[in-house]
Structure 1
Amino acid sequence: MANAVTKEISHEDLKAIMGKSLVLVDVRTKAEVDKGQWIKDGYKLPSTVESAFAMEPEEFKTKYGITKPTQDTKELIFHCQMGRRGAVATSKAHQLGYVNACNYAGGFKEWSEKEGN
């Protein structure tokens, strides 16, 4: 599923785990998100991954409306519009100890092309 070196996930693998215990983090800009298009099951997190994931669990839940992922969350996937910011976010998550974090390299652009969003 995820490449051990780059920690990436493909469209097919992401689609296969949708609706399961997935934490899908959208790190696109506010302007991109404001267009009203999302990948189902995802939640918006600002590009400040370090500060968000450094928050205490209660503060994280209050601010983002979901339980803060644990460092060993199995399916912690970041995505952006085309893949680059998602890769940066994934790298930051790894630095914070989120060992299973990976990037959906195709990003929302690929998702919308393949899923018709």
Structure 2
Amino acid sequence: MASAAEHHLPQCNFEEVIRAQNDPNILVIDVREIAELRDTGAIPGSINIPLAEVKMALGSNGVGEDFEAKYLTKKPGKDTEIIFTCRLGRRSGIAQQTALQLGYTRVKNYTGGWLDWEERIKRQ
């Protein structure tokens, strides 16, 4: 069950994730475990940072060069727009809260997650 605070955090929908795929200034981060991605696939253009790694990767300990070597993209700045996603939106909501606590200011949660993405892609 989502807390009252989570309901006030910025969320996004399928259409915004589609737009993000064509905008190099928006980073889509899937926080599921690698085994889940192998089983289901991932949103094209997203990077994978498992939830357990988000704090270290985005925190001050996550040095830019190390981030880029591990995740194959530049470490986002505190004002980079980031969309977190997972299977249903719960873990991505936790990642969003973590990023906010680390000082990131433009973070959203794709609350539909992979299940919403997969269903909508099938309909297209």
Distance 1:36 1:110 in 2: 13
Q: Are 2:8 and 1:5 aligned?
A: yes
Deviation, structure 1 residue 36 = 5.1
Alignment of 1:93 onto 2:93: no
* Matched positions, count: 113
Say if 2:49 is the partner of 1:45. Answer: yes
Structure 2 portions without partners, runs of 5+:
1-6
Alpha-carbon distance in 2 for matches of 1:14, 1:34 = 21
Aligned-residue RMSD, C-alpha:
1.7
2:71 equivalent to 1:67: no
Q: What runs of 5+ residues in structure 1 fail to find an aligned partner?
A: none
**Per-residue deviation, 1:19:** 1.3
Give every structure 1 segment of 4 or more consecutive aligned residues whose post-TM-superposition deviation is greater than 4 Å: none
**Alpha-carbon contact 2:84-2:107 (below 8 Å) kept:** yes
Q: CA deviation at 1:14?
A: 2.0
Percent identity, aligned pairs only, is 33
Partner of 1:34: 38
SS where residue 39 of structure 2 aligns? coil
With the length of structure 2 as denominator, give the TM-score of the two structures: 0.84
- Are residues 1:18 and 2:21 paired? yes
The residue type paired with residue 49 of structure 2 is L
